[in-house]
Structure 1
Amino acid sequence: MKASSSSSSLPSGPPSSWPPESRECTYDVFLSFRGEDTRRTFTDHLYAALVRAGVRTFRDAEGLRRGENIAEDLVEIIQGCRISLIVFSENYADSSWCLEELVQIMECRKTQRQRVFPIFYHVDPSHVRNQTGIFAHAFERHEATVHQGRDKIARWRAALRGAANLAGFDIAARHEAEFTVEVS
Structure 2
Amino acid sequence: MASKSSSGSIPPPPRACTYHVFLSFRGEDARGRFTSHLYDALNRKGITTYRDDNNLRKGNVISDELLKAIEESMFAIIVLSPNYASSTWCLDELCKILDCKNKLGLQMVTVFYGVEPSVVRHQIGTFQKAFKKHKKRHDREKVQRWREALKQVADYSGWTSKNQ
CA displacement at 1:145 relative to structure 2: 2.3
CA deviation map 1:44-93 (0-9, x unaligned): 00000000011110001233542111111211110010110010011100
Task: Say if 2:79 and 2:113, in contact at 8 Å, map to a contact too.
Answer: yes
User: Where has structure 1 moved over 4 Å in runs of 4 or more?
Assistant: none
- Find the counterpart in structure 1 of residue 63 from structure 2: 71
Q: Which residue of 31, 36, 48 corresponds with 1:56?
A: 48
**RMSD, aligned CA:** 1.6
Task: Say if 1:129 and 1:161, in contact at 8 Å, map to a contact too.
Answer: yes
Give the SS at the match of 1:46. Answer: helix
> Gaps (5+ residues) in structure 1?
1-20, 176-184
1: CA distance, partners of 2:125 / 2:29 = 17
Match for 1:168: what amino acid? G
Task: Say if 1:29 and 1:83, in contact at 8 Å, map to a contact too.
Answer: yes
Paired residues for 1:1-184 under 5 Å: 22-63=14-55, 65-146=57-138, 149-172=139-162, 175=164
Task: Say if 2:109 and 2:158, in contact at 8 Å, map to a contact too.
Answer: yes
Identity of matched residues, %: 45
Q: Name which one, 1 or 2, has greater alpha-carbon Rg.
A: 2
Give the SS at the match of 2:32. Answer: coil
Cα gap change, 1:45 to 1:51, in 2 (>3 Å): same
Relative to the length of structure 2, the TM-score reads 0.88
Match for 1:106: what amino acid? L
Give the SS at the match of 1:90. Answer: coil
CA displacement at 1:23 relative to structure 2: 1.9
- Find the counterpart in structure 2 of residue 182 from structure 1: none
1: CA distance, partners of 2:77 / 2:128 = 23
Report the number of matched residues. 153
1: CA distance, partners of 2:50 / 2:159 = 20
Instruction: With a CA cutoff of 8 Å and minimum separation of 6, indicate the structure with the bigger relative contact order.
Output: 1
Give the SS at the match of 1:68. Answer: coil
2: CA distance, partners of 1:96 / 1:64 = 15
